[in-house]
Structure 1
Amino acid sequence: MPVRRRRTAALAAAVATAAALGATALAPSSAAAAEVPLTGYALTWGIKQSYRTYVTGMAAGTFTTADGASQAAGNGPFTFVDGSGGYDPTAHTVDLAFQGTLRIDSKLHGFALTLSDVRFDSAAAEVTADVTRNGATTDDVPLAKVTVTRAMKDMATTLTKEAADVFGSAGYEGAAGDPLTVVQKTPPPSPSPTTPTPTATPTPTPTATPSQTPVTSPSPTPPRVTQSPAPSGPTTGGPSAPAPRGEIADGRLGWGVKESFRAYVVGPVAHGRITVSGGATQASGNGPFTFPGATGRYDTAAGTLSVSFQGSVTFQGHESDGRHGLDLTLAGLTVTLDDGAGRLTADVASLGEQSRDVVLAELRTGVSTLIPEGDVITLDDVTATLTEAGAKAFGDFYTAGTRLDPADLSIALTDDAQLPGGTDGGDGSAGASGGSTGGSADGTGSSAGGSTTVGGSTTGGSATGAVTGGLASTGSALPAGPLGAAAAAAVVMGAGAVLAVRRRRTRA
Structure 2
Amino acid sequence: MAAISRSRRPLALAAAVAVALGAGALAVTSASAAEAPLKDYELTWGIKQSYRSYVTGMAAGSFTPSDGATQAADNGAFTFVGGSGTYDSDTHAVRLGFAGGLKVASKLHGFELTLSDVKFDSGAAEITADVTSGGTTRDDVPLADVTVTRTMTDMETKLTKEAATVLGSASYEGAAGDPLTVVQKTPPTQSPSPSASPSTSTSPEPTTSTSPKPTGSASSTASPSASQTASPSASASETGSAAKGDIADGTLGWGVKQSFRTYVVDGPAKGRITASGGATQATGNGVFTFTEADGSYDTDADTLKAAFKGAVNFKGHEANGTYGLDLTLSGLAVELDGGSGELTADVESLGKTTDDVVLAHLTAATSDLKAKDDVLTLDDVTAELTKAGAQAFGGFYTEGAALDPVDLSVALSDDAQLPDGEADSGNGSGTGGSGGTGTASGTTGGTGTTGSTTGGVTGALASTGSDVPTGALGAAAAVTVAAGAGVVIAVRRRRQA
* TM-score normalized with structure 1 length: 0.54
1:357 matched to 2:356: yes
1:226 equivalent to 2:232? Answer yes
Question: 2:172 aligns to what?
Answer: 175
Whole-angstrom distance in 1 between the partners of 2:288 and 2:406 = 10
Q: Distance in 2 between matches of 1:312 and 1:156?
A: 32
Alignment-derived partner of residue 54 in structure 1: 55
What is the CA-CA distance between 1:179 and the residue it aligns to? 3.1
Shift of 1:246: 2.8
Post-superposition shift, 1:288? 1.8
- CA distance in 1 between partners of 2:298 and 2:101 (Å): 44
What does 1:176-195 correspond to in 2, within 5 Å? Answer: 176=173, 178-179=175-176
Once the 2 structures are TM-superposed, how far is the Cα of residue 283 of structure 1 from its aligned partner?
1.6
Which of the pair has more CA radius of gyration?
2
Across the aligned residues of Structure 1 and Structure 2, the Cα RMSD in angstroms comes to 5.9
More deviation in 356-365 or 411-420? Answer: 411-420
From 447, 455, 458, give the equivalent of 2:445: 455
1:264 Cα deviation after fit: 2.5
CA contact (8 A) 2:265 2:446 kept: yes
State the shift of 1:293 in Å. Answer: 2.1
How far, CA to CA, are the matches of 2:244 and 2:305 in structure 1?
A: 12
Q: How far apart in 2 are the matches of 1:399 and 1:303? A: 31
Matches within 5 A, 1:85-484: 105=102, 113=116, 128-129=126-127, 142-144=142-144, 159-161=160-162, 164=165, 169=167, 171-172=168-169, 175-176=172-173, 178-179=175-176, 203=219, 220=227, 222=229, 225-226=231-232, 240-267=239-266, 269-373=268-372, 375-388=375-388, 390-394=389-393, 396-398=394-396, 400-401=398-399, 403-415=401-413, 417-422=416-421, 429-433=424-428, 442-448=434-440, 451-456=441-446, 458=448
CA contact (8 A) 1:156 1:176 kept: no
State percent identity of aligned pairs.
36
- Aligned pairs, how many? 368
- Separation in 1 of the partners of 2:477 and 2:408? 40
Q: Residues 328 and 342 from structure 1, CA distance in 2 versus in 1: closer, same or farther, beyond 3 angstroms? A: same
Q: Which runs of 5+ in 2 are unaligned?
A: 1-7, 17-44, 79-92, 106-111, 133-137, 147-155, 180-216, 452-464, 486-497
Give the deviation of 1:491 after TM superposition: 5.9
Deviation of 1:346 (Å): 0.7
Which runs of 5 or more structure 1 residues have no equivalent in the other structure? 14-43, 79-95, 122-126, 147-154, 183-200, 206-216, 231-237, 465-488
Deviation sequence 1:260-282 (CA, Å, 0-9, x none) = 32222234633322110112111
- Larger deviation, residues 370-379 vs 324-333: 370-379
* Structure 1 letter corresponding to 2:435: G
**DSSP 3-state at the match of 1:447:** coil
1:175 partner amino acid: Y
Aligned partners of 1:279 and 1:433 also within 8 Å: no
Find the residue that maps to 2:172 and give its secondary structure: coil
Q: 1:491 to 1:321 in 2, by over 3 A?
A: closer
- Relative to structure 1, the CA distance from residue 284 to residue 228 in structure 2 (aligned partners, 3 Å threshold; closer, same or farther) is farther
Change in CA separation of 1:218 and 1:162 when aligned onto 2, cut-off 3 Å:
closer
Whether contact under 8 Å (1:46, 1:178) holds in the other structure is no
CA distance in 1, matches of 2:320, 2:314: 18
Could you tell me the TM-score, scaled by structure 2's length?
0.55
SS in structure 1 of the partner of residue 292 of structure 2: coil
- Structure 1 392/131 Cα, relative in aligned 2: closer, same or farther at 3 Å? closer
